[in-house]
Amino acid sequence: MKKRNKLKIWEVLTEIKKHLCGSKDVDAPKWNGKKRFICHALFHAMGLEWWNRHKYKNNFPAYSLITERMGGSSTLENCLDTHGIEVYRLRDSRKKMQTYRHRWLDSLIKEFKEKDL
């Protein structure tokens, strides 16, 4: 992997996917070594601890992009809830949200790869 500061946004997003648990793992203990949330997966992919994020978050344009796209919401569930989608009421909501996270990352990767950013 390239140095962190040399990665393009789409490359960072691709790394995040590798560290994000799948819908089948969301109920597994500790998510089979992966992270449940996108931002947690970002810091894990970069070899940093989530609890120390405030020290590093400004160094990652992908972090700013994700939080901006979520309208400042702390989780994707909260973001969808503000748009009237009550995720918590859905059957198998955790599995559906993991699938949604992966699909959302796929669309962001495609968007930024096409822009070569």
Amino acid at the residue 114? E
Residue 96: which residues within 8 A CB-CB, separation 6 or more? 23, 87, 90
**Per the structure, how many domains does the chain have?**
1
Tokens encoding 51: 């609890």
Average pLDDT across the chain, whole number: 84
What pLDDT score was predicted for residue 7? 84
Chain segment 37-91, per-residue pLDDT in tens: 898 898 888 888 777 667 766 677 888 888 899 988 888 888 888 889 888 777 7
Closest CA to 21 of 12, 34, 30: 34
Q: pLDDT tier at 113 (50, 70, 90 boundaries)?
A: very high
Domain containing residue 64 = 4-114
Please report the pLDDT score of residue 77 as a whole number. Answer: 87
